[in-house]
Amino acid sequence: MEFSTSLAAALLAVLLYVAVLRRWHRSSSSKPPPGPAGLPLVGSLPFLDPELHTYFARLAATHGPLFSIRLGTKLGIVVSSPALAREVLKDHDPIFANRDVPSAARVIAYGGADIVWNPNGPTWRMLRRVCVREMLGPASLDAVYGLRRQEVRSTIHHLHSHAGTPIDVGAQMFLTVMNVITNMLWGGTVEGEERSWVGKEFRRLVAEITELLGRPNVSDFFPVLARFDLQGVETQMGVLLERFDRIFEPIIDRRRKVGEGGAKDFLEYMLRMEKEGGDSKTPFTMTHVKALLMDMVVGGTETTSNTVEWALAEMMQKPETLRRAREELDQAVGKDNIVEESHISNLPYLGAVIKEVLRLHPALPLLVPHCPSSPCPVGGYTIPEGSRVFVNVWAIHRDPSLWEDPLEFKPERFLDSTNKWDFSGNDFNYFPFGSGRRICAGISMAERMVGYSLASLLHSFEWKLAEGTKLDLEEKFGIVLKKAKPLVAIPTPRLPNPDLYS
C-alpha cells in the first residue's frame, strides 16, 4: 500500500512537472524575440543609424541573431544567421513570402502592382511567370545576346575615344545596362537623340527613387499618420512617377499604333496580354504593364552597374587580383580578339571575383523585407503577423564564424572545389540574391551582364586613379548598396590593334 501511494505521488509530481514545462514553453515561445527596449511611443526610432545594415549588425552582437526592434507602431524583426534565414526563407517560405509595402513603394509601383511588392498569390505568380518566360529566362536572354554585345561594344568604343581622361565607372555602366534593358523592353521604338535623352533621364529618376525608398518615413512607422505625408516622401515619389509616365506613355502609344506586326519585344508581348485581359483568374491590365516596366528599369540597372563598379574598385585596391584576372582573360580570349559572352564560362577566376564582390557588397544588403501572413515560430520565438522582417545578408556574409578573414577581398575562397557556391539560394551562408519563392527573378540577366561587362573592361583597358586621388571603398546604405564615393578611373587601351575598339 505504501509503495503504491508513493508511486502515485511520483506519477502526479511528474505530470505536474510536465504540465508546468509545457505551460512555460508555450508562454516563452509565444513571445516575439527580445531586442532593444526603446522609448515609449517611438521605440528605437531616435537611435536609428542611417547605415541600417551595420546598425542591425551591431545590435545583433548584443541581442543575438534574431531580435525585434520597435519602430514607432511597427515591429521590425532582424535575422542575422544562416539557420534562422533558412527557417524564414525556406521552412516557412509560404508564410513569409509577402511584403509590408512602404508608402513610397506603393506610390512608385502603381499601388504595389509589380513583382517586388505584390503579395504572394495568383497575380504575383502570373507576373513572375510572364517576366521569367518572356524576358529573363535563359532562352529569352540567349535570343537577345546581340543587344548586349552591341551595347557593351559601344561602351568600349566610347571609353577608347576618352582614353586618358577620368571616367565615372558606375555612371558609364548604368547607361550600358539601361540601354540593354530598354532595348529588350521596347526594342527600336526609341532611337537617336531621344534614346540618349531617355537613358539619362532614367538614370536621374532611378537614383532619386532608390534614395527615397531607403529614406526612413514617418508614414511607415505610424501608418495612422500616412494620410498626412508629413515628410512629403509620397508627394515627391508621385512627382517621379509622373516623370516616368511621361516617358512610358509615348512609347506605349507608339507601340500600339505599330500593332502586332512590329518588333517582338517584351512590351509588345505585354500589350497583347493586356488586350486579351489576362485570364479568368488573373486579369492583366495597363497598370501591370507599367509596373513591370518600372520593375525592369529600376530593379535591373543600379544593382548591376553598382556590382561592376564595386568589382573594379576592389581589384584596383588589390592589384594581384587584377593581374590574375587579366592573365586568365589573355589566355581564354587572347589580345588579338575581343571578349564574347561565350568566353565567360571559361573564366573561373573572374567568376570567383564576382561572387566575392557579392559576398562583401550584396546589392540589397537587407534583401527586400518580408512580412508574415500569420504568426510563425522562428528560433524558439513567435514572429507576429504583419511585422517587417529584415534578413541581414550583409552581416551573414561577413560573419567570422562562417568565413575566414571575412573582411578581406579574397576571390580564391570561391575556387575551393569542396564548396559549390552559386546564386540558387540553397546555401544560407551565401545567398546574395535571396532565397525561396521571392528570390530575385533577374539572376540570369545579372550574371550575364556583370560577367560580360567586367571582362570587357578588364580585357580592353588598364585602369588607374587620377594623380592625387585615393581609392575609397566606403559603402552608402540604401535599398541598394552603393559606393559612398563614385569610382572615377582613367582607362588606357591595352590591346595592340585599334580596330578591336571599333
37/53 Cα distance (integer angstroms): 19
290-335 tens-digit pLDDT: 999 999 988 889 999 999 999 999 999 999 999 999 999 999 999 9
Decide yes or no: CATH 1.10.630.10 for domain 31-501.
yes
Residue 417, pLDDT > 70, answer no
Q: Which residue has the higher pLDDT, 201 or 483?
A: 483
- pLDDT at position 45: 95
Nearest of 173, 167, 175, 161 to residue 490 by alpha carbon: 167
Q: Is 376 annotated as a binding residue?
A: no
Strands (E), 72-140: 74-79
187/474 Cα distance (integer angstroms): 37
492/16 Cα distance (integer angstroms): 80
Least confident of 188-202, 255-269, 326-340, 456-470: 188-202
134-168 tens-digit pLDDT: 899 999 999 999 989 999 999 999 999 999 999 99
CA angle 289, 213, 171 (to 5 degrees): 80
Count other Cβ atoms within 10 Å, centred on residue 391: 28
393/381 Cα distance (integer angstroms): 21
Nearest of 355, 361, 368 to residue 437 by alpha carbon: 368
SS3 track for 145-197: HHHHHHHHHHHHHHHHHCCCCCEEHHHHHHHHHHHHHHHHHHHHHCCHHHHHH
Q: How is the chain split into domains, by residue range?
A: 31-501
- pLDDT at position 263: 59
* pTM for the predicted model, two decimal places: 0.90
Please answer whether residues 104 and 479 qualify as being in contact, where contact means their C-beta atoms are separated by less than 8 angstroms.
Answer: no
Residue 156 main-chain phi, psi, to 5 deg: -60, -40
Q: Which residue has the cell 560580360?
A: 452
Confidence of residue 196 (pLDDT cuts 50, 70, 90): low
494/492 Cα distance (integer angstroms): 6
Confidence of residue 259 (pLDDT cuts 50, 70, 90): low
Q: What is the mean pLDDT of residues 366-393?
A: 97
Nearest of 169, 444, 135 to residue 316 by alpha carbon: 169
Strand ordering across the sheet containing 488-493: 167-168, 488-493, 461-464
- pLDDT at position 2: 40
Nearest of 73, 72, 53, 62 to residue 33 by alpha carbon: 62
220-253 tens-digit pLDDT: 999 999 999 999 999 999 999 999 898 889 889 8
438/226 Cα distance (integer angstroms): 27
pLDDT > 90: percent of the chain: 73
Radius of gyration of the chain (CA): 25
11/194 Cα distance (integer angstroms): 85
- pLDDT at position 194: 63
CA angle 132, 133, 136 (to 5 degrees): 40
- pLDDT at position 36: 97
Confidence of residue 183 (pLDDT cuts 50, 70, 90): confident
Confidence of residue 262 (pLDDT cuts 50, 70, 90): low
Nearest of 241, 370, 312 to residue 486 by alpha carbon: 312
Count other Cβ atoms within 10 Å, centred on residue 171: 17
Confidence of residue 265 (pLDDT cuts 50, 70, 90): confident
Confidence of residue 200 (pLDDT cuts 50, 70, 90): confident
